[in-house]
Amino acid sequence: MKALQIVSYGEIKDSLVFNELSKPAVQSNDVLIEVKAAAINPIDKSIILGNLQGMLPIPLPSTSAYDVSGIVLEKGDGVSNFEIGDLVYSRVPQEQMGTLAEYVAVDSAAVSKKPGNISFEEAASIPLAGLTAFQSLEAAGIKKDDRVLIHAGSGGVGSLAIQYAKAQGAFVYTTTSTTNLAWVKALGADRVIDYKTEDYMSIAKDVDIVFDTLGQNYSLESFEVVKQGGIVISVVGPLDEASAKMLGMSDYKLPEALAKASSDRKADYKFILMHPNGAHLNEIKSLIEDEKIKPIIDKVYPFSESVEAFTHLATGRAKGKIVVKVS
């Protein structure tokens, strides 16, 4: 089968090569998916650049990407919840990374039937970003009438988080740049803040939840806008102690300034590492079929142009998701 592999760490165009591989072997709990579409995410770019070698050692060459939609072609003898021919989608587990290929074997616990009302390309755009939005806002305990600030509403994660928060009955503030204002508003956000011309901190005040998808100064600033008793959920800022422990860093301490801001504001800080989960994808499937969430795709690239897809992702300006049509 044809697969797009990372052969070295460094510049995107120098690091990715199409290789011919044999079909992956199917373990007892796996399904073999004939890949129809894959989506790429900032983590895929960070892996290629070599920025995650310490935290996420990956043997090279390795096939790139985690998001997939496709058709079940084979299944292991321990799989009872999928049949050959099922249309599915998944964020594959770390050890099965490699959806930019004609076939991928995936632990069935990470797989869900694909939403029936969307295309393979749209379905592939959902898993990693959708699970991140879902798991982050659930960890925040989101509920009706909560006031939520979601940074980068035009990003892959933000565009789904807005829709998930609205589906839970929250009031949503979001930030984006001038060119994206109209379509981000159309996702249901109550107040879209143009970060080019407006100061989000003077508009989103005393919110229950900040969803920090930007990191850097935004993590600390979150404590200026979250209310006492509220929560800051970050997927990009400093690790919290629980996630550091999960990654084997038992001596890790939250940076002092963040710990102080959290304590002064009496508001929690949590870092979320999304995890593959077929049951969560199944919940997202229902929200998509109920038209509470729709996929947002910036561009679909043919498989042969996967490197161009990564170059687009690396601009950091994607409007929703970047997808690769594999077959």
Interface ranges with ligand NAP (CB under 6 A): 41-43, 128-129, 132, 151-152, 154-158, 175-177, 180, 195, 213-214, 235-236, 272-274, 316-319
φ and ψ of 285, to 5 deg = -55, -45
The β-bridge partners of 112 are 89
Q: Are 64 and 97 in contact (CB under 8 A)?
A: yes
C-beta closer to ligand NAP: residue 266 or 317 = 317
Q: What is the SS3 assignment for 321?
A: strand
Of 253 and 317, CB closest to ligand NAP: 317
The helix or strand, by DSSP H or E, that contains position 40, with its residue range, turns out to be: strand 30-40
Q: Which is nearer to ligand NAP, 236 or 254 (CB)?
A: 236
Shortest Å, Cβ 13 to ligand NAP: 19
Collect all residues with Cβ–Cβ distance below 8 Å to 113 and sequence separation of at least 6.
82, 86, 87, 88, 89, 282, 285
154 vs 306, beta carbon nearer ligand NAP: 154
**Reduced 3-state DSSP string for 88-146:** EEEECCHHHCCCCECEEEEEHHHEEECCCCCCHHHHHCCHHHHHHHHHHHHHCCCCCCC
Which of 103/271 has CB closer to ligand NAP?
271
Separation CA 153–CA 64 (nearest Å)? 26
- Residue 169, classed as helix, strand or coil, is coil
Which tokens is 59 given? Answer: 């043997």
- The CB-of-81 to ligand NAP minimum distance in angstroms stands at 25
Smallest gap from Cβ 21 to ligand NAP, in A, equals: 27
How near is the Cβ of 291 to ligand NAP at its closest, in Å?
22
Is-cis flag, bond preceding 59, omega within 30?
no
What is the spatial distance between Cα 126 and Cα 105, in angstroms, rounded to a whole number?
19
Separation between Cα atoms, residue 142 and residue 134, nearest integer Å: 10
Give 157 or 297: the residue with its C-beta nearer to ligand NAP: 157
Tell me which residue of 7, 98, 16 sits closest to 61, measured CA to CA: 7
Please say whether the dihedral angle defined by the alpha carbons of residues 2, 277, 272 and 56, taken in this order, is positive or negative.
negative
Q: How far is the CB of 313 from ligand NAP (least distance, A)?
A: 6
User: Closest CB to ligand NAP belongs to which residue?
Assistant: 155
To ligand NAP, the closest distance from the beta carbon of 190 in angstroms equals: 17
* Cβ closest to ligand NAP, residue 8 vs residue 216: 216
Residue closer to ligand NAP (CB basis): 52 or 73: 52
> Shortest gap between Cβ of 177 and ligand NAP (angstroms)?
3
CB of 163 to ligand NAP, least distance (A): 13
